[in-house]
């Protein structure tokens, strides 16, 4: 009899332990995380300080913090997909991702294929050279090789500029390679976003000059056409602007750029 009671107690204890384990897995915090809707965001993590990879592989930057703040605001769990910049619009069109935050300028041309939120940041364009370079103006680009990132407004701008000044254009699919090519003298000029360029100029001891010909539209979040998320994200951005969070992120990531 004693033995039966003991084994009952043993089985009972096991059952209680199993139940506890179960509730731990799905309990309060666990349940919230697993049942949260997922928001898939694509970016091209080659564009510090907006998005880049740490040596550990972790993707960090202004856009990443902004995406997390938006997801938090709207009650989503954020999932990030890293892809080539020139594949981002296609990924939205195929609805493979819910949104893109990648320092993407809200151009009229892109608006034909995707929707944009309100702009969250404004930048310009710059031509970056080695420090000792004698290229100081757009006319000096004549006969030189200028690299741009594939699919960017800089690629488009450079093509238009080629009608006035005769230079060789080298489109590369990764923005980080622009600076590598410059440092190893395979190109003489890298044409890229001003906020990103100023970072490299400081870190790598490079030089550069502003592009006086361009006035690029602000950077915005991009969505598949007709996405319900546009209004939600606009509201979240408005809130982040009002409560100072947006400015806080600019101070954290873009201070040297402003």
Q: Does 193 bind ligand ARG (CB under 6 A)?
A: yes
Binding residue for ligand ARG (CB under 6 A) from 117, 121, 129, 149?
149
Cβ distance to ligand ARG smaller for residue 129 or 152: 152
Nearer to ligand ARG, 118 or 235 (CB): 118
Among residue numbers 42 through 81, which ones bind ligand ARG (CB under 6 A)? 44, 46-47, 51
**What are the C-alpha distances in Å from 54 to residues 100, 151, 174?**
20, 24, 16
Q: Is 104 in the site for ligand ARG (CB under 6 A)?
A: yes
Q: Three-class SS of residue 163?
A: coil
Our CB check for ligand ARG shows the closer of 140 and 201 to be: 201
What is the rounded CA–CA span in Å between residue 90 and residue 97? 10
Length of the chain: 258
- 257 part of the interface to ligand ARG, by CB under 6 A: no
Helix (H) / strand (E) containing 202: helix 194-204
Does residue 7 sit in helix, strand or coil?
helix
Q: Which helix (H) or strand (E) holds 136?
A: none
Size of the site for ligand ARG (CB under 6 A): 14
Task: Compare residues 145 and 177 and give the one whose CB is closer to ligand ARG.
Answer: 177
Instruction: CB nearer to ligand ARG: give 140 or 192.
Output: 192
Stretch that binds ligand ARG, among 39-47, 93-101, 157-165, 220-228 (CB under 6 A): 39-47
Work out which of 161, 175, 233, 240 binds ligand ARG, going by CB under 6 A. Answer: 175
Quick one: 40 or 235, whose CB is closer to ligand ARG?
A: 40
Instruction: Pick from 99, 128, 153, 240 the residue near ligand ARG by CB under 6 A.
Output: 153
- The answer to the question of residue 85 lying near ligand ARG (CB under 6 A) is yes
143-146: long-range contacts at Cβ-Cβ below 8 A with a sequence spacing of 24 or more?
143/167, 144/168, 144/187, 144/188, 144/189, 145/169, 145/170, 145/186, 145/187, 145/188, 145/189, 146/170, 146/187, 146/188, 146/189, 146/190, 146/191
Contact call for residue 152 and ligand ARG (CB under 6 A): yes
Q: Residues near 26 by Cβ (< 8 Å), separated by ≥ 6? A: 34
Residues near ligand ARG, by CB under 6 A: 44, 46-47, 51, 85, 102-105, 149, 152-153, 175, 193
């Amino acid at each position: 009899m004693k033995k039966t009671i003991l084994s009952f107690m043993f089985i009972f204890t096991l059952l209680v332990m199993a139940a506890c384990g179960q509730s731990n897995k799905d309990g309060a915090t666990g349940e919230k995380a697993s049942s949260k809707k997922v928001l898939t965001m694509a970016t091209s993590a080659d564009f510090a300080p907006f998005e880049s990879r740490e040596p550990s592989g972790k993707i960090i930057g202004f856009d990443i913090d902004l995406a997390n703040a938006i997801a938090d605001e709207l009650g989503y769990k954020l999932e990030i997909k890293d892809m080539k910049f020139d594949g981002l619009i296609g990924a939205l069109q195929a609805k493979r991702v819910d949104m893109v935050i990648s320092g993407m300028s809200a151009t009229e041309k892109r608006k034909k294929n995707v929707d944009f939120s309100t702009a969250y940041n404004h930048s310009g364009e710059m031509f970056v050279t080695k420090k000792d370079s004698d290229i100081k103006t757009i006319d000096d680009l004549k006969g030189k090789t200028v690299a741009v990132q594939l699919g960017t407004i800089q690629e488009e701008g450079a093509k238009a500029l080629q009608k006035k000044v005769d230079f060789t254009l080298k489109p590369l699919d990764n923005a980080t390679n622009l600076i590598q090519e410059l440092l190893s003298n395979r190109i003489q000029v890298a044409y890229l976003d001003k906020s990103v360029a100023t970072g490299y100029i400081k870190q790598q001891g490079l030089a550069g000059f502003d592009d006086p010909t361009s006035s690029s539209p602000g950077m915005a979040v991009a969505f598949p056409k007709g996405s319900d998320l546009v209004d939600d994200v606009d509201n979240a951005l408005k809130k982040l602007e009002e409560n100072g969070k947006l400015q806080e992120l600019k101070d954290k990531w873009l201070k040297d750029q402003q």
